[in-house]
Structure 1
Amino acid sequence: MTASFEGLSSTDAMDLLRTGELTVAGRLVEASNATLYCTVSSGSVSANCVYKPVAGERPLWDFPDGTLAGREVAAFAVSEAFGWGIVPPTVYREGPFGEGMCQLWVERDPTVDLVEFSRDRENAALCRMAVFDATINNSDRKIGHLLPTPEGHLHGCDHGISFAEDYKLRTVLWQWQGEPLTTEALGGLESVRAQLHDSDSQLADQLANHLTGPERYATRRRVELLLEHRVHPFPPPGRPAIPWPPV
């Protein structure tokens, strides 16, 4: 599944993010870490993006310091391996405040009620996102991280606290827990598994750059367990199942 971004193909968007000049326009003050709204330009081509410098990351007790930006890039790599276009184009690059994550800005459809949208059991795009979150062990899938576009595509953002070794899935998308995975989901997981086991794949390369060996192993095991049991996972025992605040 492909999506265009401000008139750019995904490939052109990635090239622009990697090589364009970043200009900071402002800060998204509701974010817990430094999240800067920017324009990225190259010649006559420009787009809006989000830049999260490593220097602005807030330390967390359960994730190594300075790794959140890389985890966002790893999440994009998994999204691409699925072929579902969940995560907008994302790169790791130098910026005005040092190295960090740079992700293309996605305009959310303002007419969508996100609370109602997040509870939909019949929405195939939401169901795919639940499988994606289980794969990356997303610890923070809030309603506000859902980005349905006016064109009908669904993106997700804010994947910095993902890929923990321990099972820490926290999400507002539990409506399919214990239900069989769709044929589409199983096919996507097979694709991810094949690329995880191919040391020459882009997925394997990106995860090696941004995750530890145990975190990569845990990712492979989550994929294998999902394919073995063929059902959506249940909430982790003894941990909050929904992030707070959920919005």
Structure 2
Amino acid sequence: MMFVLKASKWIAPKTLEEAEHIQNEMFKHLVLCPFDLSNASLIAGVDVSYTNNEALGIVVVINRNFEVVEVISQKTKVSFPYVPGFLAFREAPVILKCFEKLQFKPDLALLDGQGIAHPRKLGIATHIGILLDIPTIGVAKSLLCGRCEKPEKVGQATEIKDKNNDIIGYCYLSKTGTKPIIISPGYKTDLKSSLCIVQALLNGYKLPEPVRLAHYYSQKLKT
């Protein structure tokens, strides 16, 4: 395994109270710092889809030319209910199994979900980043918490602010005729670099290419 888990006890809580406690503990390990995309030769996109009580995890690794280097899929039974704010406990197990199978280690990962734009700043991107000690960015399709003005033109980013008026991410309009995407740093990235990286990885679609490809394969391989 190329990645070493920091603490496996942070994966499988038995109650929501325990899950919240884990998130609060993990927050102490959160690191936000600039990340330069030029330092990433391989970038992963991560997505999870569901069929009945089974989760299909996908990790796609691409290079800087948007060429697919590796696609990993893994199916597992879902063991944690869907509860907003606790998605990581539902999806992390299958995502971690995908990373275990990778032949090529990515320098950065973009996940379909939240980073710090989360009530406890522990969305799936932050959770996975801390567990695997890999820089991550969350790219979500909807706002989980905070408030922002809707961007009016393609390429415009508006700040997402939490109840303390702190900036926790951006609402970004990436393509005409689509809804904005929610961008927030996960781990070992920061606000500015997460926005710049997502912008650089757009390839004519709503989602940045690593996440778009992961979503594509999650739908293709689900059947």
- TM-score, L = length of structure 1: 0.25
Bigger strand share: 2
- Structure ID, larger Rg: 1
Greater helix fraction, Structure 1 or Structure 2: 1
Query: Which structure's relative contact order is higher, taking Cα pairs within 8 Å and 6+ residues apart?
Result: 2
